[in-house]
Amino acid sequence: MADTKTLTGLNYSPAMDEKTHEQTYRGFVRFVEIGTVTVLCWVAALAIGGVHEAWITAIIGVLVSWGLAALGAFVPAIGWKAQAGLFLVLLAILFLS
């Protein structure tokens, strides 16, 4: 039989560790946000390399995105925001040059 005490969805059962569960969920969401913006930066960098044949700029964009991803992973207040700025810079290079 199913345990009907935990089916409400509003409360955790006593056997579950609510604090650890919430912390793991927040970490996973932060990882997905940072990973998504990292991949967007890589795609923009590859587009710069392919369209303008500026492969040095593309490599620098990828390396900087890795550094910003590490910074965002270790400083939760920054998160994906620094990489979003790099993504906008890469798009500006792609479309304005």
Between CA 8 and CA 10, with CA 9 as vertex, the angle to 5 degrees is 90
Four-point Cα dihedral 11, 14, 20, 21, nearest 10: -40
| Residue at 16 is within a domain | no
| Residue at 9 is within a domain | no
| Residue at 36 is within a domain | yes
| Residue at 58 is within a domain | yes
pLDDT in tens, the chain (97 residues): 455 555 555 666 666 778 888 999 999 999 999 999 999 999 999 999 999 999 999 999 999 999 999 999 999 899 999 999 999 999 999 999 8
Q: What is the span of the domain harbouring residue 86?
A: 31-96
Q: How many structural domains comprise the chain?
A: 1
